[in-house]
Structure 1
Amino acid sequence: MTEIQTVASLIFTLTFLLIVTEMIHRTVAALVGAGLMVLYGVIPYDEVLGFIDFETIGIIIGMMLVVEVVSTTGLFQLIAIKAAKRAKGDPAKLFIFFMGLTTAFSAFLTDAATMLIMASITIMIARVTKMNPVPFLIYEVIFTNVGGLTTLISSVPCIMVGAEANLSFVDFLVNLGPLVLMLFGATICMVKVILKGGFQRISNVEKLIEMDEWGAVTNRRLFWRSLLVLAATIAAFVAGSPLGWPPVIVALGAGIAMLLLSGVSPEKTLREIDWSTVFFFAGIFVVLGGVERVGIFEGVASLVRLVGINPVIAGVSILWFSSLASVGVHNIVITATLIPIIRDLVTVLGAGAEPLWWMLVVGATLGGSIIPIGSVAGVIALGVAEREGHAISMGEFTRVGALTALIQMGLATVYFVVRYLRPIAI
């Protein structure tokens, strides 16, 4: 290893230790690491911007603008209350409806937005019906992660991999949509076994049925305009692939359209954007770019070429490593770290190695269900439950989350081997 490679490796290690240990905020850690890469000459200062993936950042900002406005309209609350009323007091139906909504919302919203919406509705329904919201909250975290696999905009790992591998909205639906449906059905079937007897009966059914779902909508003009832009955004993502529209253009266009047509104050909306995450990405891209620039990641690909690892072993290893690593390290960091490695693996392994991208997304996303602090959704669920007097312990969540995640990972392994990797191995 050369001197510059040693310096880059030390900066990379320091940055990730600061992020994992949370000694300082992850955004500050990423920016410090990026600064050190420039200070020590790993990356020339005039090349820094070239290492930032502006396509990924553009998609994130555009969708943040869309989600921020739509979340204030009451649309998702209206849908959830309608679903609760249709359950008519049947706890099993209510559970299936809510998990279905969680999965669907997560396909188009961030995990944080999905969990905030579903947690608030769950607590509201729990107050009316006097049911225990804890099982619902735990599984809403799990189904948020399942739904986070569905589309290009479902989660940050999806956005990152999609931008790197030039994957479209339709590519995600075709390749991961069947897996999401399989995981949804299998997880629903596991619930009664894990919960040993299911859910308590719901009280005050009459009050539940009398709830006014439109009461959640405070501005109907904003509601319909935002719904129109959201529908147009989804349609544009679907049509974008055959028409040659880059996802970043669709996302930014949707964000701008939402600001123009919604009538909501742009200053207020822009203040609510998670700029910390945006700058975190900028910093981490520079850190990883420095490591890649000095050729460290190329060593992994060379090792693969030397020992002759086939796509089956490489794919399953990526799937499980990214999942288990997500327990202690944020899945965004895991995804960002593995992207350049997989890029080299795809080059080395040749035709048929593209499924490695899908396995990275699935592993990094499902791993967030193992422990409550493994994902943003889990942290939000813990906070909401504690605030409402239904505290969820680490052990209580992990008993359900770890078992469910491991079973889901097993099913995902079978899915990938049968659909993609077995023909290659043969």
Structure 2
Amino acid sequence: MEHPTLVLIIFVITYIFIAVQRIPGLRIDRPSGVTIGSTLLLLSGLLNIEEAYSFIDWHVITFLLGMMVMIAYLEFAGFFEHVALWLVQISRSAAQLLLATILSSALLSAFFVNDTICLLFTPIILKATRFLKLNPLPYLIAIATASNIGSALTITGNPQNMYIGIQSGIPFLRFMLAMLPPVAAGLAINYYLVRLIFRKTVNHQPIEKVSIRIPKLKRTLTFKALAALGITLALFIAGMGYPFAALVGASLILLAGYVPPRLVLKEVDWTILLFFAGLFIVMGAFEKAGYMETLMQFAARRVSGESFGGFMGLSLIVTLLSNLVSNVPAVILMQPLVEQFGGGEKFWLLLALASTFAGNLTLVGSVANLIVAEKALARQVHLGFLAYLKAGFPLALLSLAAGTVWLWFFFAG
């Protein structure tokens, strides 16, 4: 490729947009950052439109779209809000409410994408803690951290897992089986750590029960959407390609749902699809210019997948990179290194685990964390960087260490 230095400059500018987002005088988020980067590559003549299209992994885009359509129907039906308020109603103490928040956030995030759960659960939990006169901070931290941990369980839990699932071809149940112990350990650490930090307020003392009106659930629509999702998961398990299975599920609910699709499709996060498309183009140009090969040779000389120390080192690199540029770009950057190590399941699973658990390290470590913080701030509750760090930092380190050790021994021999 001609002018590789210009490609590097555009790549660095794009990743600054992804990592920083808040630049004085500019209001640029991640999707717009990669769109600007890919447009600069086209305007400079470094890529033509056909090359740009060829760099986009349409399997990933299709998979994301199919899953988001089914989730949008469940959201429209009031399913997530109904579940959250029901859990609040059955909790008898602050500690029980914390446990219910962690388990529900984690379980739902495993199948419905963690960002969605954070978006919907945060205002509900804030309303509940206000009614119950409880400190909202432990519950906000629990939503963010548990949704990150829980999303690591399955290929459908978050965008980076969806990408890894398609690139690696790991069967759905195989992925879930390998991830179950580290996710369970992470959630246990999460619960006891948050309880320890907020031990003065999160205890087993009975809380005053208040009546919170649970909105009526659109039962027929919920049943149809859950049925479509169930069929999709069955197709995953049966070995059908992830993108095709997701499209089948989305098509079924579009056909069976009695709600005009245009109303529901407004709930689909189209910016995620834009983000992935732009990121694929920028990464494709970076690889075409030869920088990816140089970067991977540098990393491979310092990290080996053949030793336990090297495996831990790889986990550390993914963790740091995920906090520097966010988890999805980190996964795409690390893919060539994983393939250089032979593309074995343990490396793909480590990539999924480390990039996801790393999101708990700091408040800006994942989009899910930022969603919780922004939703809380809109309701006059401030979840600060340091308040989050007290729980998030030790949680990330402990869960990453436990998960990495588990994966190493799970694939031993």
The one of 27, 33, 38 equivalent to 1:34 is 38
Identify which of 112, 117, 122 aligns with 2:115: 112
What is the alpha-carbon distance in structure 2 between the residues aligned to residue 45 and residue 311 of structure 1?
A: 41
Q: What's the CA shift string for 1:101-123, capped at 9, x where partnerless?
A: 01001001122210122213312
**In the aligned structure 2, how far is the partner of 1:279 from the partner of 1:383?**
22
> What letter corresponds to residue 391 of structure 1 in structure 2?
H
Task: Give the equivalent residue in structure 1 for 2:222.
Answer: 223
SS at match of 1:150: coil
Report which stretch shifted further, 47-56 or 18-27: 18-27
1:80 aligns with 2:84: yes
Letter in 2 for 1:251: A
Which residue is 2:267 aligned to? 272
Residue equivalent to 1:419: 410
Which stretches in structure 2 are left out of the alignment for 5+ residues?
Answer: none
Identity of aligned residues (%): 24
**Is residue 304–residue 345 contact of structure 1 (8 Å, CA) maintained in 2?**
no
Q: Distance in 1 between matches of 2:310 and 2:283?
A: 21
Shift of 1:195: 2.5
Aligned equivalent of 2:162: 159
Cα deviation for residue 146 of structure 1 reads 0.4
- Report the CA distance shift for 1:145/1:251 in structure 2 as closer, same or farther (over 3 A): same
Q: Which sits farther off after the overlay, 152-161 or 129-138? A: 129-138
Q: Deviations over 1:232-254 (max 9, x none)?
A: 33333223x2xxx1010111121
- State the distance in 1 between where 2:370 and 2:270 align: 19
Alignment partner of 1:272: what SS?
A: coil
Number of residues of Structure 1 aligned to a counterpart in Structure 2: 406
The structure where helix makes up a greater share of residues is 1
Which residue matches 2:137? Answer: 134
Aligned to 2:64: 60
The 3-state SS of whatever aligns with 1:372 is coil
Task: Output the CA distance in 1 between the equivalents of 2:403 and 2:196.
Answer: 20
Structure-2 change in CA distance of 1:405 and 1:309 (3 Å): closer
1:66 shift after superposition: 0.8
Classify the secondary structure of the residue corresponding to 2:324. coil
1:154, distance to aligned residue in structure 2 (A)? 0.4
SS for the counterpart of 1:167 is coil
Instruction: Provide the aligned C-alpha RMSD in A.
Output: 2.4
What are the residue-to-residue correspondences of 1:117-266 with 2, within 5 Å?
A: 117-197=120-200, 199=202, 201=205, 203-205=207-209, 207-208=210-211, 211=212, 213=214, 215-217=215-217, 219-239=218-238, 241=239, 245-266=240-261
| Structure 1 residues 86 and 304, CA gap change in structure 2 (3 angstroms) | closer
Corresponding residue number in structure 2 for 1:295: 290
Q: Corresponding residue for 2:104?
A: 101
Deviation at 1:174, TM superposition (A): 1.8
Instruction: Provide the rounded CA distance (Å) in 2 between the counterparts of 1:324 and 1:123.
Output: 31
Superposed CA deviations along residues 140-180 of structure 1, whole A, max 9, x for unmatched, are 10001001101111001101111111223223212212221
CA–CA distance in structure 2, aligned partners of residues 183 and 84 of structure 1: 23
Q: Distance in 2 between matches of 1:306 and 1:90?
A: 53
- Report the Cα offset of residue 4 of structure 1: 4.1
| Alignment CA distance shift 1:340-1:8 (3 Å) | farther
Partner of 1:9: 8
- Stretch of structure 1 that moved more, 134-143 or 124-133: 124-133
Distance 1:292 1:43 in 2: 12
1:129–1:202 contact (8 Å) kept in structure 2: no
2:65 corresponds to 1:69: no
How far is the alpha carbon of 1:27 from its aligned partner? 2.2
Question: What letter matches 1:394 in structure 2?
Answer: F
Q: TM-score, normalised by structure 2?
A: 0.90
Q: Deviations over 1:324-346 (max 9, x none)?
A: 23333221221222223322332
SS at match of 1:311: coil
User: CA distance change for structure 1 residues 44 and 345 in 2, over 3 Å: closer, same or farther?
Assistant: farther
Aligned counterpart, 1:282: 277
> Structure 1 residues 124-133 or 330-339, which shifts more?
124-133
Runs of 5+ consecutive residues of structure 1 not aligned to the other structure:
348-352
Q: TM-score, normalising length from structure 1?
A: 0.87
Change (3 A) 1:229 1:310: closer
Using the alignment, how far apart are the partners of 1:171 and 1:361 within structure 2?
Answer: 13
SS at match of 2:380: coil
The letter for the 1-side match of 2:273 is V
Distance of aligned partners of 1:307 and 1:390 in 2 relative to their CA distance in 1, 3 Å threshold: closer
Aligned residue number for residue 350 of structure 1: none
Asked if structure 1 preserves the Cα contact closer than 8 Å seen for 2:312 and 2:404, the reply is yes
> What are the superposed Cα offsets for residues 193-236 of structure 1, whole Å, 9 maximum, x if unpaired?
3324451645432x35xx554x341x333233223223333333
> 1:121–1:293: structure 2 CA closer, same or farther, 3 Å change rule?
same
Report the Cα offset of residue 401 of structure 1.
1.1
The alpha carbon displacement at 1:386 in A equals 2.4
1:90 Cα offset (Å): 2.2
Structure 1 residue aligned with 2:391: 400
- Alignment pair present for 1:337 and 2:333: yes
Aligned to 2:349: 358
The CA distance in 2 between the partners of 1:124 and 1:308, in whole Å, is 47
